[in-house]
Amino acid sequence: MRYIANYLDFSKTTIFNELHRLNGEYQAELAQTDFERKVSQRGRKSSLTKNLKHLIEEKIQVQKWSPEQVAHVVGIAYKTVYNWIDQGWLDVQLPDLPDHGIRRHRAKEKRGTFSHGRSIEKCPHKVETRQKFGHFEADTVLSGKRKGQAVATFVERKSSLTIVKRLHGRDSQSMTQAVLELASQLQDKLKTLTVDHGKEFANYQTIEQLTGTQVYFAHAYSPHERGSNENRNRVLQRFIPKGQAIEELSDYQLVQINWYLNSRPLKCLNWHTRERKISCVNA
């Protein structure tokens, strides 16, 4: 299929869609008839201009937006964006799209864990209501390497502010330093931190003593208890593919990723993107 696409100077998506235009074995005459029928039923000229095409491709490919996010900002139905992709009018491939609907298998825990700490069951109800700023979820995203750097992700529950920071190690000391930097950047507005039992959070008592922050631990195998963080991690992994060493990321690239994550319109915020202090996300 790649050879055909290169030879005809079309994208692989266009060739794939053409070969699957009809059910069963591909027949050129039937495919052409089907194409002409759909053209005649189109009713009006496509609104996909050159500038709009470039904008959509930039948002999806570079900034990792979903078609639904793009559609809302542009002011069109999200199904229209999918139709343009299916018809090959947009140079967007399946790997460019978020994997909604794909069942995920839980990866084997490789970080090491510990069992003590304040349970999320003791977390005040006001934290769950997301009415006050300062309640964060935190996690670690590792590269595909067994050793080396990682990144810490912090997501504020009310505003969905996302901060990604480089960790120079995978130990609790590195995470503690990252949390202390976060608390300083937020000017002591860090009220609670909800995390899992990864060993990098083993120094939670030091964090509480130095920042005045309450640390709560989610139940094992319950990612939904830190749903905002899990969602943002999936988006982050589209910027940092599996197997890429964190060391390969420059500080500038990390700042860019922070900006991309915080400039995306979110459905949970009624498609708004809040004004965020970019200085807070410099790693």
- According to the model, what pLDDT value does residue 28 have? 66
Indicate if the pLDDT at residue 8 is higher than 80: no
CA distance 60 to 258: 16
User: CA geometry: angle at 106 spanning 135 and 179, to 5°?
Assistant: 30
pLDDT one-digit tens code per residue, 18-49: 666 555 556 665 566 566 556 655 655 567 88
Domain ranges of the chain: 2-96, 120-281
Cβ pair 80, 90 in contact under 8 A: no
pLDDT one-digit tens code per residue, 109-156: 555 566 678 999 999 888 888 889 999 999 999 876 677 889 999 999
Average pLDDT of the chain to the nearest whole number: 82
Strand-by-strand arrangement of the 214-217 sheet: 162-167, 150-156, 135-142, 192-195, 214-217
pLDDT one-digit tens code per residue, 174-183: 999 999 999 9
pTM passes above 0.75: no
Name the residue type at position 187: Q
As a CATH number, domain 120-281 is: 3.30.420.10
Name the residue type at position 125: H
- According to the model, what pLDDT value does residue 22 have? 53
- According to the model, what pLDDT value does residue 6 have? 73
- Quote helix, strand, coil % in the chain, to nearest 5: 45, 10, 40
- The helix (run of H) or strand (run of E) holding residue 32 is helix 28-40
Q: What percent of the chain has pLDDT over 90?
A: 47
Q: Which of 106-110, 161-165, 176-180, 277-281 has the lowest mean pLDDT?
A: 277-281
- According to the model, what pLDDT value does residue 165 have? 96
147-169 average pLDDT score: 92
- According to the model, what pLDDT value does residue 7 have? 65
Q: What is the four-CA torsion angle of 180, 217, 153, 193, rounded to 10 degrees?
A: -50
Residue 52 Cα distances to 74, 75, 147, 225, angstroms: 8, 11, 43, 38
Cβ pair 34, 40 in contact under 8 A: no
Number of neighbours of residue 15 by Cβ within 10 angstroms:
19
